[in-house]
Structure 1
Amino acid sequence: MLAVWRTTRWRLIKLFVILNTLLAVSCASPPPAQVAERNQPPTRKILVHRVSPGETLYSIAWRYGLDFRQLARHNGIGSPYTIYASQQLRLDVNDSSKRKPPPAIASRQPVTSTPAPQPSASQTSRPKPPPKVARTPRSENKTPPATSPTSAPLPSGPVSWQWPARGRVLAGFSASNGLNKGIDIGGKLGEPVVAAAAGRVVYAGTGLRGYGKLVIVKHNETYLSAYAHNRVLQVQEGQSVKAGQQIAELGSSGTDKEKLHFEIRRDGKPVNPLTYLPKR
């Protein structure tokens, strides 16, 4: 009898221990699930730009940090680089894996030529009808170009740079982290902004977000310069300008402070203007 009681008591102890273990496991909260970074969606890259009224090929290339010549070639646009509103431009100029599709004529099936039927005697006896006069097709109502700067001649020789404003430098060049792709020059409202070198105006407007009233000057096939946040623009697209010629009035458009934001692009890439401007 004593042995039976000891066996029963031992079984009850084991059952009590098992119940306590199950209760502890059920009350414990599971650890939060870890999300791997590789499962995060990649940052979307803009591959196509739809042209808005007032934009030029130069301003679009400037926005995306592209060489205007490469952008034009990639989209089959020749000089003087006329583009149209609602036109779509491919921006993947640096992606060698994406190639242009072959011309439409290459996809056509070859046509088998058949000998022309010989005219019958009755057909040869009939007089030939008078030749039809080709009518000039009516001009279709095409969308006007967004902007087409004229092809005024560019100055020859090396670019000779000068300061575009008289104020001191407020912020330096730091394109590596994307904070400032040029320099900021202080000044008072209405002070003159001059062309840093001779060239041709290829953009004058407010179409680039963050630049306010902007002027872009093309100096040659390599260099362009930009003048942002102006109060008044005094030049038009296609106009030739001389070095030191006033092109705008200093302002605060697109910013909270009166200043001139000045940039130089070499083959579409921003460079430090202080390495080109003369020492003060």
Structure 2
Amino acid sequence: MRKRFDRTLLASLAGAWVALAVSGCANVGQPNAQNGAATSANAASGVPAANATGAASGDPAAAAPLSIGASDNTPLKKSPPLVYRVRRGDTLARVAQHHHISVKQLQAWNGLKASARLKPGQVLHVASPETVRAATAAAQSAAQRASQATAQTSAQASTQSAAPAPDPTEVREVTQETRRHASNVALAWPAAGSVVEAFQPGETRGIEIGGKAGDPVRAAADGKVMYAGTGLNSYGSLIIVQHNKDFLTAYSHNRKLMVKMGDIVRKGQQIAEMGDENNSRVSVGFEVRRDGKPVDPLPYLPQGRG
């Protein structure tokens, strides 16, 4: 965050704050807390799936053999069919020849006599019991992986929504406070790390508080989220919280945003995960702005640390 003071960027941020304050609580898109919805594998349930092998030959025995497969986010490879549904005119010899097996194997796998006549719609096993067991085990493994991925996604979503929503009374109180003028604001530290870069008038816009990727970034005071996104250069994923008509705080370089524009946040509530977006190290860039101008955050924070 050590840069020469960028007047154009300052004007952009101040302008964005004013515009957002006027525009109200319209939602804007942000990285899903997540920033990730997550992709899960769909496992086969054992219901045969159509295979068009040999359909172009015109041979009735070549019509739509059935197979069991599974998907685990990798391209589905063509696998030999496990079962075949008999069509009119099929014989044991023709079905065996089409699936590259012997008539004796076809009889053994299906408990058929040599004189057996096939009926349309009859389902025949065209793979050995060992192959069927291996395919079933693979499908079950894929289903288990898919279940675990779904459970993990659900757990993450539950964690992200764990913070209770403020009740209507709190919303009214915070909203009223944002409409009042104030000569001061009492802030809490937004992160647990140490100050790795101090405020320098004309050179920096705030302070940097170091930490590890994923560390919680918390609201420094009650307020309303006026911006949450990545639209301002050099800030990375940025959150701006208005506390009253004179003071706002900004939190930049986040890995993940956990609030959106218009949200009411309470002091100490987690609003983001620490990251290094548009920065050379993992930290949260913390700014205090009074009337749109950056000021040293330290006088507004509890002493004895940093």
TM superposition score normalised by structure 2: 0.44
Higher RCO (CA < 8 A, seq sep 6+)? 2
Higher helix share: 2
TM superposition score normalised by structure 1: 0.48
